[in-house]
Structure 1
Amino acid sequence: MATDPSEELKNLRTTMASIEAVLDLGKLRAQIADLEEQASAPDLWDDQAKAQAVTSKLSGLQAELNRFSTLNRRLEDIEVLFELGQSEGDEDALAEVQGELVDVSKAVGELEVRTLLSGEYDAREALVTLRAEAGGVDAADFAEMLLRMYTRWAERHNYQYEVYDTSYAEEAGIKSATLTVKAPYAYGTLSVEQGTHRLVRISPFDNQGRRQTSFAGVEVVPVVEQSDHVDIPEDELRVDVYRSSGPGGQGVNTTDSAVRITHLPSGIVVSCQNERSQIQNRASAMAVLQAKLLQRRREEEQAKMDALKDDSSGSWGNQMRSYVLHPYQLVKDLRTNYETGNTTAVLDGDIDEFIEAGIRWRKQRENS
């Protein structure tokens, strides 16, 4: 680092300004205020699923705002300390500036990576599925090691997560497991972890102590955000009324009470003539249309999720990271070439550097 940190301070301030623009702090504060109002409603916990969604999102957005604000204050303090050290020739103050700049530069770099997450689904929570692949019991054990790695990573960041659908292997480890990471931008962050991970080590399950290579697959998809209600604008509907008729053409009644509703954008047509009044038939027809449109939306969202699996830069089956525990210690990302010899820390959830490198690598590919 240069002896005079003024240029670095200037660069950090420029980066923080661009981060602030991307985060859109005004919009962020408005979202927080709205969620705080929802969270204070006395009947919030009458619907536990909704309450958990509101409080989880509120916590995440508050943490995001606090992260930026805290980092901005730290940078301001360093700028003041630097000016003071320069004006008074205080070498101790200038040395402190140098030390603080190392930490703040790293933190600003991490926050900048967050602004690179601009994909359609990047802001979503993440659904991570791990599967043991080739390697027998070692692969099952490795899959469980990766599950622990990701849960520890979530704990390091105070992210809520839930593990479910765990299928345990017979001897040791897991055949598969799924966890949801409930944090803003969890999908955008973890999506670069998708692919095949490889472990090389002396197998603890081999009586002869031989070196084994095993594989585990990581799949990451965004959590689908759905509500049970589909808002249908009136101008998208054509409503026709007609006289109900029974079997053999016999009239059910003599009034125009049957209702046929056509949803113009989709072409879906529903009708109802079972009720005695036009109002009741219309309500029943709308309920059927709601259900049909909700199902269509689910199918479309599932198709998008499937496309994300197929088109991901770290597609299922592509080897993307190697964990070597013998004859030397090394974890290396095969796309970015980022590596570290501290395998213990990585398997304990210290994977931020790998994730950051992966996000930057992906952005470069998108821009090339």
Structure 2
Amino acid sequence: MHPDVLADITDLEKTLTAIEQVKNPDQLAETIRELEEKASDPSLWDDQEYAQSVTSKLSAVQNEAQRLRDFRQRLEDLPVMYELAAEEGEGSELADEERRALRRELEAYEVKTLLSGPYDAREAVVNIRSAAGGVDAADWAEMLLRMYTRWAERQGHSVDLYDVSYAEEAGIKSATFVVHGDYTYGTLSVEQGTHRLVRISPFDNQGRRQTSFAEVEVLPVVETADHIDIPDSDIRIDTYRSSGPGGQSVNTTDSAVRITHLPTGTVVTCQNEKSQLQNRASAMRVLQAKLLEIKRRQERAEMDALKGDGSNSWGNQMRSYVLHPYQMVKDLRTNYEVNDPQKVLGGDLDGFIEAGIRWRVAEEQQDSR
């Protein structure tokens, strides 16, 4: 075996061992045993929400343990592949390809081990709002909605669209959706901030270049353990008819729900379900997520004040997408960039997300010194 290949396999071994130390296969096996015991309880489905939580966690942990076993098996098979190729006098192309693929997958998986925040393992509530730029900004917000939806599809995550507010001419004013799947909050949280688009405006009959902005907010889905108590006296609930693009009615009953949290002025809406009751439940989940985020920001501000650091390490404008006069997407925090905007807008965000997570961890480590 070539010394460079041997050194690379040794490096892969170190990477996988580091991942296993974080993920702890023995602890995963114990967690699986405990969840299987709960899942076998005949009374489990008396509480359907709890039962779904148990079975969902069991499936996620089983998949995690299986993936680690697969990584370990593939790494152990690599030297054998090279030996067989040498014995049969064939090239090592297949072994080289497998080694490169394993490195890519391990490096991507390693990023997931950096998601250790208290909410990182949760599902994500994403809000997109058009900002400065008029009709171009509304169109840009809709492009971002499509980009994140396609990213979720590529990852195998399902998306529930809770609410869309359409703009009059084109695009959307805002959208709220949930991305289901483990660690979707921790993964997408680095996407929060202002996204800037530069292009020749398709809405300008003089073909001038236009800069437009849209804001992305990412929140963790609230769980029962979060204790977000919202008294009925603190909210106002309004109902109205759902509408589609251009104000077209898509529902003949007042099923859409708008909830206003009076103490904070926070407003959430939901119109994706036909039932007013379902829309109200979905809107309350989003409201709880927003109030949890407000609480977290207050606690963070208090901690920063105690540390004598009132600055915010998260810059607001975080990424530029330039379609004219050149082609580039660049993250302003990590300096990660690509020269194929259409690929990024089609949902290929993994490079940006991985760079963002590594950047955030480095920032947090620096702040803690």
Question: Normalising to structure 2: TM-score of the pair?
Answer: 0.72
CA distance in 2, matches of 1:76, 1:314: 41
Letter aligned with residue 16 of structure 1: L
Residue 337 of structure 1, CA deviation: 1.2
Residue 200 of structure 1 contacts residue 213 of structure 1 at CA under 8 Å; is this kept in 2?
yes
Residue 45 of structure 1, CA deviation: 5.4
CA offsets 1:31-72 (integer angstroms, 9 cap, x no match): 334444545556655544334434443443333333323222
Residue 16 of structure 2 contacts residue 106 of structure 2 at CA under 8 Å; is this kept in 1?
yes
CA distance in 1, matches of 2:168, 2:55: 39
CA distance in 1, matches of 2:295, 2:318: 25
CA offsets 1:163-197 (integer angstroms, 9 cap, x no match): 21322212222111122222222222111111110
Residue 222 of structure 2 contacts residue 292 of structure 2 at CA under 8 Å; is this kept in 1?
no
Larger Rg, first or second structure (1 or 2): 1
Residue 121 of structure 1, CA deviation: 2.0
Residue 193 of structure 1 contacts residue 314 of structure 1 at CA under 8 Å; is this kept in 2?
no
Task: Report the aligned-residue RMSD.
Answer: 2.9
In the alignment, which residue of structure 2 is the partner of 1:358?
A: 356
Aligned residues with identical type, % of pairs: 57
Letter aligned with residue 25 of structure 1: P
Q: What runs of 5+ residues in structure 1 fail to find an aligned partner? A: 231-297
> Equivalent residues in 2 for 1:12-161 (5 A)?
12-39=12-39, 47-86=47-86, 88=87, 90-92=89-91, 94-161=92-159
Residue 152 of structure 2 contacts residue 158 of structure 2 at CA under 8 Å; is this kept in 1?
yes
Residue 156 of structure 1, CA deviation: 1.1
> Equivalent residues in 2 for 1:1-368 (5 A)?
4-39=4-39, 47-86=47-86, 88=87, 90-92=89-91, 94-227=92-225, 303-304=295-296, 307=299, 313-314=313-314, 318-368=316-366
CA offsets 1:315-336 (integer angstroms, 9 cap, x no match): 5xx1111111122221111111
User: In 2 relative to 1, CA 166–82 (structure 1 residues): closer, same or farther, beyond 3 Å?
Assistant: same
Residue 22 of structure 2 contacts residue 113 of structure 2 at CA under 8 Å; is this kept in 1?
yes
Residue 91 of structure 1, CA deviation: 4.4
User: In 2 relative to 1, CA 301–211 (structure 1 residues): closer, same or farther, beyond 3 Å?
Assistant: closer
Q: What runs of 5+ residues in structure 2 fail to find an aligned partner? A: 229-289, 302-309
CA offsets 1:191-245 (integer angstroms, 9 cap, x no match): 1111110011111222222211110111112222215999xxxxxxxxxxxxxxx
Indicate the SS of the match to 2:122. Answer: coil
Residue 56 of structure 1 contacts residue 182 of structure 1 at CA under 8 Å; is this kept in 2?
no
CA distance in 1, matches of 2:299, 2:143: 28
User: In 2 relative to 1, CA 327–351 (structure 1 residues): closer, same or farther, beyond 3 Å?
Assistant: same
In the alignment, which residue of structure 1 is the partner of 2:258?
A: none
CA offsets 1:262-298 (integer angstroms, 9 cap, x no match): xxxxxxxxxxxxxxxxxxxxxxxxxxxxxxxxxxxx9
CA distance in 2, matches of 1:81, 1:136: 58
Residue 22 of structure 1 contacts residue 115 of structure 1 at CA under 8 Å; is this kept in 2?
yes
Residue 108 of structure 1, CA deviation: 0.7
Residue 14 of structure 1, CA deviation: 1.0
Count of residue correspondences: 296
Letter aligned with residue 26 of structure 1: D
CA distance in 2, matches of 1:185, 1:312: 24
Residue 140 of structure 1 contacts residue 175 of structure 1 at CA under 8 Å; is this kept in 2?
yes
User: In 2 relative to 1, CA 46–135 (structure 1 residues): closer, same or farther, beyond 3 Å?
Assistant: farther
Indicate the SS of the match to 1:4. Answer: helix
CA distance in 2, matches of 1:23, 1:78: 23
User: In 2 relative to 1, CA 179–58 (structure 1 residues): closer, same or farther, beyond 3 Å?
Assistant: farther
Letter aligned with residue 105 of structure 2: A
